[in-house]
Structure 1
């Protein structure tokens, strides 16, 4: 069961990612990255976030803590961006939040080193959950105090958007050619 938080302040939109997440403060004084139920990708991406994020945590990966966030759409009335205001209005009620990792940097495969073992574990996990969105263009990884954190699992389990094709989708081999960690010679065999 995820911890429940009430959004007390909408801080700012985060302009990275297609779902336009936002930064909020909760009634527990925590700061969270909020993924909205009213975003274009729909609720199924939030289901994938929870299932794959918690699976990753149980497999020993570093993943920001997940919480449910009760959002009152009135928090967005002062937001000057019309698109963000509409997103807040359409997302009243329960949404998904992730601990904000203050000081974390976006992962750049040219700037950070990852061991073949860790790269192999991450590629293996992404193959397991069919993550189509951890490429060098969009790594969905953060670096904090020398450690790699996995974020944004909304583009995993893509088969659950089309149940009639789920079996065929699950049977396809995972293509890691564009994976953000491909250049680190991932040791997938050891991870398996």
Structure 2
């Protein structure tokens, strides 16, 4: 009797579905933490990041990936973090401070530069970064979010300073009031 090829193909499929191979070593699922779990993403865009090499006086590529501006609501801090695609090596990791000045490059409208104290390699090091965006609008958007974060840092410092001034002022008033009460009590018992 003649059999059709489709029949033999179906029988091969059923035998392949029944095969189950147990792994030699069982690997438990591990939850990978990026350190960004408690932070809000204010900006995220794909870029090519460069770092200035002082010895050779040229820009060296640091990596390609998503650059993020993150906000930690408890600590009230803003930072820039970038990891390379695929290998996830940290290329940039620094706090945004009021002293950091991001600006567009004179040679390209879709690139910008800034200098910051970077911690991406585990040690504190002042680095000069350049980021190349897909469009000039994205570069301007990054600068806008960056400067907005700087403004919020200054406002938060002023708010905390004014709070400490208010506490000091109330302490002064209370101490004078208590002193007046004490003097009145002494006068009454005299």
- TM-score scaled to structure 2, two decimals? 0.26
Query: Whose radius of gyration is greater, 1 or 2?
Result: 2
- TM-score scaled to structure 1, two decimals? 0.26
